[in-house]
Amino acid sequence: MKASAFLYPWDVVGDPAAPARIADLGVRQVTLAAAYHSTRALTPRHPRHRVVTASYAAVLYEPGERWWGRALRPHPAGDWAPGDAYGQAADALAAAGLDVHTWVVLAHNSRMGAEHPETSVVNAYGDRYAWAPCVARPATRAYLVDLAAEAAVRPGAGGTELESCGWYGLAHLHAHDKIAGVGLGEAGQYLMSLCFCADCRAGYARQGQDPDELAAAVCLALEPVWRGAAAASGWAGVEKLLGAERAAVTLAWREESARALQEAAVGAVRAAAPGGFQVLLHADPVTYHCGANAGVDPRHILAVADGVVVPCAQGPEPLAPFTAHAGEDTVIAANLTVVRGMGGSPATLADDARRAARLGATELRLYHAGLASDEDLALVGKALSRSG
């Protein structure tokens, strides 16, 4: 199977050996970040640094004129990826014979939430999640759609992968996180991720549910959870806590809002891109899940995009709902973590790839070639040589 390795521009810029090292792994493609959230990342082999701190969500190129005079606009990166760092890295990788696709993070932006609080998800208690833009807000969605079109279609790119193209919620790798003291479970996570901003409240009302009563019901449903009740799982757990009718209303509104963003973002990318440009979404087949891998309806999303990148770190089972609706040319990419320090298993990559293929995977994504140790990369290269 075709394999693509994730990279950041700072893994390549300033390291002349990086492109050949990646090509020697046996991958044909690199998925290179063009717009990314704040992070702190190791660079185990870079000749000039070992730790890169990206202080805020940024585009890793110079943003264009479309943003002039707009309140919501992307910020260029600081000294961790100055100028057109994406372009420099992409050119170096292409010169080594690698296809380059963009990696674009959308609805995950703490700086935007801090500077424009009205853009953020607001939970039933009134707490704002600065990292999580509310995708139901028209102005926020317009920003995300334009960001998708600009960041995805960089010079020379053959395609894009859109991450966080849907709802983000409570779960977040925040600095010094202290939210694990209560076991929320899947159902509690869902309730704590529901948005009650003005636009979402109006959306619930259009679905026939009084937003004040709904917010009160969410808070009441969570009371046993705060007291230490056993965490509920699955959609049945959500219905048990909130009631089937109210749960259905929340899901209908969230699915409608997420679909609007996904359809608009993919459409904007295609309108800006040359023919043959591939558009994939990082996606979870459970519609009520939220986060970097947005929950989607497999049938719907495969009618919108060219395919999906599916998290398979815990096993390939999430692939099956997508392969059931895949066409002849649909891309079903299994995303496998290959960094042992992040819970990955490069030693079993060949076996994991075969298991994914049996469930319909057509490609592999390897997370993350820039973060992996030399030994991890050696194991990846060995696995790809065995499978290819």
Domains and CATH numbers, the chain: 2-123+132-180+256-387 (3.20.20.80)
SS3 174: coil
Query: Residue 287's pLDDT is what?
Result: 96
DSSP per position, 301-364? HHHHSSEEEEE-TT-SGGGHHHHTT--TT-EEEEEEE--GGGT--GGGHHHHHHHHHHTT--EE
Q: Using alpha carbons, list the distances in angstroms from residue 20 to 95, 101, 298, 317.
A: 9, 17, 37, 34
Query: Residue 387's pLDDT is what?
Result: 66
Rounded-to-integer distance, Cα 107 and Cα 104, Å: 10
Query: Residue 76's pLDDT is what?
Result: 98
Q: Using alpha carbons, list the distances in angstroms from residue 364 to 22, 34, 130, 289, 372.
A: 15, 20, 32, 22, 16
Q: Which of 154, 162, 166, 149 has the alpha carbon at shortest distance from 67?
A: 149
| Chain-centroid distance, C-alpha 135 | 14
Query: Residue 372's pLDDT is what?
Result: 97
Burial class of 28 by CB neighbour count within 10 A (0 to 12, 13 to 18, 19+): middle
pLDDT per residue rounded down to tens, the chain (388 residues): 899 999 999 999 999 999 999 999 999 999 999 999 999 999 999 999 999 999 999 999 999 999 999 999 999 999 999 999 999 999 999 999 999 999 999 999 999 999 999 999 999 999 999 999 999 999 999 999 999 999 999 999 999 999 999 999 998 877 677 777 788 899 999 999 999 999 999 999 999 999 999 999 999 999 999 998 887 889 999 999 999 999 999 999 999 999 999 999 999 999 999 999 999 999 999 999 999 999 999 999 999 999 999 999 999 999 999 999 999 999 999 999 999 999 999 999 999 999 999 999 999 999 999 999 999 999 999 999 976 5
The Cβ-side half-sphere exposure at 252, using a 13 Å CA radius, reads 13
Rounded-to-integer distance, Cα 361 and Cα 308, Å: 10
**What is the pTM assigned to this prediction?**
0.97
Please give the angle made by the CA atoms of 139, 142 and 146, to the nearest 5 degrees. Answer: 145
Rounded-to-integer distance, Cα 319 and Cα 166, Å: 19
Query: Residue 388's pLDDT is what?
Result: 55
Strand ranges (E), the chain? 2-7, 29-36, 39-42, 51-54, 58-59, 99-105, 120-122, 128-133, 159-163, 278-284, 294-295, 307-311, 331-337, 363-367
